[in-house]
Copies of this chain bind each other. A is one copy, B any other.
Amino acid sequence: MNAITSASDERLVRVPLGERAYDILIGPGLIVRAGKEIAARLMGRRAAIITDENVAPLYLDALFASLHEAGIQPSKLVLPAGEKTKSFEHLMAVCDAVLTARVERNDAVIALGGGVIGDLAGFAAGIVRRGVRFVQVPTSLLSQVDSSVGGKTGINTHHGKNLVGVFHQPDLVLADTDVLNTLSEREFRAGYAEVAKYGLIDKPDFFAWLEANWKEVFSGGAARIEAIAASCQAKSDVVVADERENGPRALLNLGHTFGHALEAATAYDSRRLVHGEGVSIGMVLAHEFSSRLNLASPDDAKRVEAHLKMVGLPTRMGDIPGELPPVEVLMDAIAQDKKVKSGKLTFILTRGIGQSFVADDVPTSEVLSFLREKHPQ
Contact = CB atoms under 8 A, between A and B. Distances in A.
Interface in A313-364: 336, 338, 340-342
Interface stretch (A162-170, A196-204, A300-308): A162-170
A133 interface: no
Contact of A130 (B104, B105, B152): B152
A43 B95 CA distance: 34
Interface string A106-129: 100000000000000000001111
Interface residues of A, number: 36
A296 to B, nearest CB: 29
A88 interface: yes
A41 interface: no
A126 B166 contact: yes
B106 A342 contact: yes
A340 B103 CA distance: 11
A122 to B, nearest CB: 12
Contacts of A95: 88, 157, 164
B341 A166 contact: no
Contacts of A92: 88
A306 B336 CA distance: 58
B127 A342 contact: no
A1 interface: no
A92 B166 CA distance: 15
13 contacts: A43-B342, A45-B342, A104-B340, A126-B166, A127-B164, A129-B163, A130-B152, A130-B154, A130-B244, A131-B166, A131-B167, A131-B244, A166-B166
The 4 closest A-B pairs by CB, nearest first: A99-B159, A88-B92, A130-B165, A127-B164
Interface of A: 43-45, 88, 91-92, 95-96, 99-100, 102, 104-106, 126-131, 152, 154, 157, 159, 163-167, 244-245, 336, 338, 340-342
